[in-house]
Amino acid sequence: MASLNRKRWFQIHGWLALPVWVVFCFVCLTGTIAVVSHEITWLANPAARAHNPDDLPRKPLPELVDAVREAAPQAHIADIIVLEPYLVTAIGIRTPDGLPARAYVNPYTAEVQAIAGGPTFIGFMRSLHGWLLFPWHHNYSVGYYLVAAMSLVTLGALITGVVIYRRFWRAYTRPQLRLGSGLRVFMGDLHRLTGAWSLWFLLIIGTTGLWYLTQAVLWHNEVDIWNHPDPVPLTDVPFTVDGKPAQPIDLAEALERARTALPSIEPSYISLPEFSRGHISIAGSGENWLFDQYAYRAFVDPWSGEIAQLRQPASMNALQILSHIADPLHYGTLGGLWTKLLWFVFGLLLSAMSVTGFVIWGRRTTREAGIRSAAKRSPALEEVRT
């Protein structure tokens, strides 16, 4: 009976993964590359590197913005993205003809190393992995649903795999990888070994993927996880006597206001108001390392300097917490470069598991078909088999 149950679990394990194994492998591979897309950019694009041979401290962000204004006087500054210490700070601009572009600024020297428009490798990989480049229809993408649904495959394969691989913990104490016993045996050993060692990774990727699926449903149904601050009252936007544009507070003051309200904030994304009643949004990481680089956020009134809304982990509800811890866990950014490399290795293993799983099933099917064929020719063999 136990044997029959195990066979059924094995079937479920196959039914979960086999019908989508190529797509699953593709999603895993693109995700694996996306994890290190910043580092690949560093390797491939010298203009993206933040050389700092003199070990200088980071320059204040307003100084980097001033450098861009000097290099591209006609451009309008839209946002600022602070990346890893070995990468440039990317300052989003709109060119005079309205096109979005990014200025790559060395955060240690304030040198504008390049100004480029169009998609980036980082953005491309995130889009390819996240929604397979399927178009967005305002609040949903079929591709996003498809990819997020792979979390069900991951978690299902994890649960059924643990059931059918009895005493899987022996893979930790007595790992077995038989090289000389044929391809099917080798693939079987490799599949079980990588599966056992990747259990924690499967659990993380599957659970965070399940969150992305939930998030897709929330987006589709226009359920807001956050309430955005009310716009600045029109009456608070000043007039000028000469009709020239009024001057909002400068970026340095806005940053100071945010730091006063959130002392541990390390700004990583700043967006400037798109209209006179909008806020300066300053998002960053903080003392809680489990949360992403947008978990601490201050919305600063550009005219009065007052804080319109603060966001930080201590005051988040469950959905808000999930939305800010999913990415560091899914992409392995929570511990910097080393955890990213660890995620990269296990991402490759997970990608390979879909291939080894298919090969095992294929070999098993071929073998069973061979036995059935032989049994037709020799009834005695069929008796032996049953």
Partner 1 sequence: MNTRHPGKLKYCLNALLLIAPAWFFYASLTPPSTPDPWPAQTLGSWSMAPTPADINPPYRHDGALVKDFRFHLCPGCGAQVRTAIARVASTAPALDAKIEGVIHGHGDILEAHVPWPEELTDEHLLWITAQDWSGAIHHASWPLPSHRD
DSSP 109-129: T--EEEEEES--HHHHHHHHH
Q: Output the six-digit token pair for 229.
A: 């601050």
Size of interface with partner 1, in residues (CB under 8 A): 53
Residue 30 vs 215, nearer CB to partner 1: 30
C-alpha–C-alpha distance, residues 29 and 129, integer Å: 8
Residue 77 vs 283, nearer CB to partner 1: 77
Minimum gap (Å) between residue 246 Cβ and partner 1:
6
Among 5, 11, 22, 376, binds partner 1 (CB under 8 A): 22
Q: Output the six-digit token pair for 323.
A: 């939305």
Tell me how many degrees the CA angle 111-303-275 measures, rounded to the nearest 5: 75
Span 66-85, contacts to partner 1 by CB under 8 A: 75-78
Helix 142-164 vs helix 199-220: crossing angle, to nearest 10? 150
Among 135, 174, 314, 379, binds partner 1 (CB under 8 A): 135
C-alpha–C-alpha distance, residues 153 and 150, integer Å: 5
Does residue 28 belong to the site contacting partner 1 (CB under 8 A)?
no
Does residue 54 belong to the site contacting partner 1 (CB under 8 A)?
no
Residue 132 vs 342, nearer CB to partner 1: 132
Residue 59 vs 94, nearer CB to partner 1: 94
Distant-in-sequence, close-in-space partners of 22: CB < 8 Å, separation ≥ 6: 354
Secondary structure of residue 374 in the 3-state scheme? helix
Among 4, 179, 180, 274, binds partner 1 (CB under 8 A): 274
Minimum gap (Å) between residue 325 Cβ and partner 1:
27
Single-letter residue type at 309:
Q
Span 304-363, contacts to partner 1 by CB under 8 A: 358, 361-362
Question: Do 222 and 139 touch, CB atoms closer than 8 A?
Answer: yes
| Strands of the 112-117 sheet, one edge to the other | 112-117, 100-105, 89-94, 76-81, 266-271, 280-285, 296-300, 307-311
Does residue 303 belong to the site contacting partner 1 (CB under 8 A)?
no
Span 147-176, contacts to partner 1 by CB under 8 A: none
Among 46, 175, 233, 335, binds partner 1 (CB under 8 A): 233
Residue 55 vs 222, nearer CB to partner 1: 222
C-alpha–C-alpha distance, residues 88 and 62, integer Å: 15
Bridge partners, 94 (sequence order) = 76, 100
Q: Output the six-digit token pair for 360.
A: 């095992």
* Location of structure tokens 């949360």: 291
Residue 166 vs 367, nearer CB to partner 1: 367
Does residue 146 belong to the site contacting partner 1 (CB under 8 A)?
yes
Does residue 116 belong to the site contacting partner 1 (CB under 8 A)?
no
Question: Do 105 and 65 touch, CB atoms closer than 8 A?
Answer: no
Q: Output the six-digit token pair for 34.
A: 């996306």
Does residue 138 belong to the site contacting partner 1 (CB under 8 A)?
yes
Bridge partners, 104 (sequence order) = 90, 114
Residue 81 vs 132, nearer CB to partner 1: 132
Among 53, 57, 98, 180, binds partner 1 (CB under 8 A): 98
Cα 138 to chain centroid distance, Å, stands at 21
Does residue 227 belong to the site contacting partner 1 (CB under 8 A)?
no
Minimum gap (Å) between residue 340 Cβ and partner 1:
24
Residue 275 vs 338, nearer CB to partner 1: 275
Residue 124 vs 197, nearer CB to partner 1: 124
Does residue 222 belong to the site contacting partner 1 (CB under 8 A)?
yes
Longest dimension (CA), the chain: 104
Residues that bind partner 1 (CB under 8 A): 18-23, 26, 75-78, 93-98, 119, 128, 132-135, 137-139, 143, 146, 222, 231, 233-234, 237, 239-246, 272, 274-278, 358, 361-362, 365-366, 369
